[in-house]
Amino acid sequence: MNTLYKLIVLVIVSIVWSSCEEDNFTTVVNIDIPEHENRLAISGNLSSFFDNFLVYVSESQSILEDADSEPKSNAIVKLYEDGVEISELSYQSRNGSYRTPMPANLKPGSSYKLEATHPVLGVASAVQQMPSMPSIKKASYTENGTISPDGSKQDEVEIVIDDNPDEENFYAVEVRSVVENNGETSYTGYYYLESFDPIVENGFQEDIIFSDASFNGNEYSMLFSTNIYLNSTEEKVMIIVKNITRDKYLFERSRAIYDEAQYNPFTEPVTVHSNIDNGYGMFTAETLLEYIIE
């Protein structure tokens, strides 16, 4: 009996030992990577929030290339409004940025086209329709007025949106501290927002983004928690509500998910949204309202 037992144990140990060899845990998969065609990579955002319209132009790279994307200084970059050229951007620096003053009257409903022409990489472009101005019935800030998702006492920000029923709207919210001096507004702080609201999503450059899919055409109240630190009696709280294009919403959402998944080996690959024809990148537009809380 003891001899049979020892024989069984020896067989089991041999099987386990043989299964632990490296070849049983290693699989080599050959993947054919499609040939990459280098194209223009462009990014720019139309917004009255900024004094200048900046566009970055570079060349895309293959997934196997170690070099950074190469800025392009010899492109011709133009902006069109309803099919009419309104500006040609000038090259500014070695990082591939082109600049022109932001158009003074960005017209909601108008079509804006960004076009870049390169002598080797050809023409790349994108079109955005300027969103309508957001309609906000209320914007308020209450010190120590709420509880954050992690259970700590925090300041509360509330906005009430009066949504346009004739449009598919996408929103972003920011909170800043500002100082007003001789009619000029200076931004002194930027504050991260959180919310229990299930429609709220995290963006890449925007902390908070959401669509009107669940409340289209109705009023909708949203509550956010944050920590606001005012360093002087001159500082005030500013709530900024943006109406962003669908492309910007999809980019913000996909880029945030991409960043979360980047170092997680168990997640599926994430494709970052792009809207550039014959190229890569993102051209977006937004309108916004600013509320200063006394």
pLDDT, tens digit (0-9, with 9 covering 90-100), for 2-44? 666 666 666 565 665 555 555 555 677 777 666 777 899 999 9
Tally of CB atoms within 10 A around 35: 6
Tens digits of per-residue pLDDT, 223-265? 999 999 888 888 999 999 999 999 999 999 999 999 888 878 7
- Domain map (residue ranges) of the chain: 40-129, 136-273+286-293
Using the CB atoms, write b or e for 183-208: b if 16+ within 10 Å: eeeeebbebebbbeeeebbbbbebbb
- Amino acid 261: pLDDT: 85
Would you state the pLDDT for residue 193? 92
Q: Which CATH architecture has domain 136-273+286-293?
A: Sandwich (2.60)
Cβ-contact 267, 275 below 8 angstroms: no
pLDDT one-digit tens code per residue, 64-121: 666 666 788 899 999 999 999 999 999 987 777 999 999 988 999 999 999 999 999 9
What integer best gives the mean pLDDT of the chain?
87
**φ, ψ dihedrals at 91, nearest 5°:** -70, 140
Q: How far apart are CA 157 and CA 293, in angstroms?
A: 11
Lookup: tokens for 214: 């669940």
What is the DSSP secondary structure assignment for residue 194, as one 8-state letter? B
Whole-prediction pTM: 0.84
State the Cα–Cα distance between residues 68 and 191, nearest whole angstrom. 31
The topology (CATH level 3) of 40-129 is Immunoglobulin-like (2.60.40)
Q: How many beta carbons lie within 10 A of that of residue 156, not counting itself?
A: 17
